Chains A and B, each alone.
Chain A
Amino acid sequence: MSAAPEPARPPALHADSLQVCYAQGAATLAAVRDVSFRVSEHERVGIVGESGAGKSQAFLAVMGLLPKYARISGSVRFEGREILGLEPRALNRVRGSRLTMIFQDPMSSLTPHMKIGAQLAEVLVHHAGLTWRAAQLAALEMLDRVRIPDARRRLRQYPHELSGGMRQRVMIGMSLLCDPALLIADEPTSALDVTVQAQIIELLRALHAQSRMSIVLISHDMGVVAAIAQRILVMYAGRIVESAPAGKLLRQARHPYSALLIRCVPSLREPRGERMACLPGQAPGAADLERGCAFAPRCPRASARCHEERPPLRALEADAQVACHHPLEP
């Protein structure tokens, strides 16, 4: 997070009191309870937390990809402009060009009956007004940039003819075609082999270095986040519980949950987004009402106060915040 003086350029993304709720009969499910954060220009931010923490939901809300019946409130400013509730045509100018997102399973996230080349080219045709031929050429260059060998042949192939790692590279390439300001990667490696995971993370780092874009990487795997993030946000039960520069967090986490996450880096065969095998108990669901700190039932340091009073997110240092009554001391 930036220090006290405001940055000269607006942050790539600025979320303020973002909430996402769903009505189910008489009850309300809160997927994202109250989330505020900033992503600066050319920053790499990691969002970590177990499944159900609201990580994906928050950023799907940012992209406007949640279903119509989702109740979203708060404010999200992208490059200084409010995008929550933006009318569809304006949103579509931003999405896919300046603001992009890639998803977890590249097999099901790519259109099975369209050739790779077409899926890439249509982004440029729509956003940059290129002709199909020019767009296909640009797509070819992009495939090279994301290190896909034999790119010319790949352009003419269908998604099921590529390996998982290659498909994810295609997804990444697709999102970079219009030189975005922000790329959101939602669990980009969770469906891939460990060796391929490392390649993808490395690719993202390299691409980030070559441009001015910011990256938000969402994962349940602290190891993956640690490999790429400059700053880490830890989410639990729909809220941010800790925010700190990566090095500082990994050396000395202040929130008990963060510390536990770091200690039990998940096993190789962890199913995606499942709760950490070494953390006892289960995270509260979206329907559970809050009373006190959401993590208290599972927290080894919980006190009576923790069960009654919800700890607010407050700054411990200039660049670190924590939501805990009894944060760990360095």
Chain B
Amino acid sequence: MTPTSWRAAARRLRANKAAVAALSVIVSLVALALLAPSFNPNTVEALDWSHVATGPALVHAHWFGTDRLGRDLFVRTLEGARTSIAVGLAAGAVSLSLGLGFGAVAGYVGGRTDYWMMRLIEILSGLPLIFFVIFLTVIFGRNGAVLYVSIGAVGWLTMARIVRGQALSIRRQEFIEAAVACGASTARIIGKHVVPNVLGPVIVYATLTVPQIILLESFLSFLGLGIQEPHASLGTLIAEGAAEMEAAPWILLAPGLYLTVLLVCLNIFGDGLRDALDAREPA
């Protein structure tokens, strides 16, 4: 993509009011997660025995209320948010590199390598990988690294497909032939030429993968298969909230609403980004 087409896409994105609104909500939510705890005197682990399972109030700065152990929900929810977002970004990066690498190699090298790599992707994409992720957590345990890698392994398939498509079309272009003529190695060509040129759609899909990953992580944590105590992610908090629902609904509502709003806005923004980049004129 040329600089002019980037600018045109940015203009289109700015014109999309829904996407812009969604983006500002996302930024606010992230800022809240990062900065707000510093405005609240409570800590994540502190147990306030005098205020067990109380509703939202200004007392002792328990703005979202407390849970069954007397822990402040405001800081806990935001810590959960930080964890979920961190997993989203980290696993997203794994997904991105896997997809980028796989797709670039398949698309650029072509031929039989490409054929078999694509067959592999076809087979793997036939199934919801959640089951495999659960499977992997059973086998390899529930530590953080496993979580990041296995969750990241979910989104790379579509990414690989897109990157491969782009790589295929780039392969025939002149500057690649020039590089080959100069004796550049395949790896170098892929790294220096193919990858930067497929960035456009890759960014869009990375943006769309992040909510999927956050969703998956929350899903797993909700079931108890993801992040473990004492760390909390939005998923574990929602699980706690669901259990306490009848007596103390706010324990569910805070993380639930945060997660929902975050996911909805990420989806809207991702859609807007895709629309802005799809409508671009040929570079």
A and B touch in the complex (CB under 8 A): no
Chain A residues close to B by CB (< 8 Å)? none
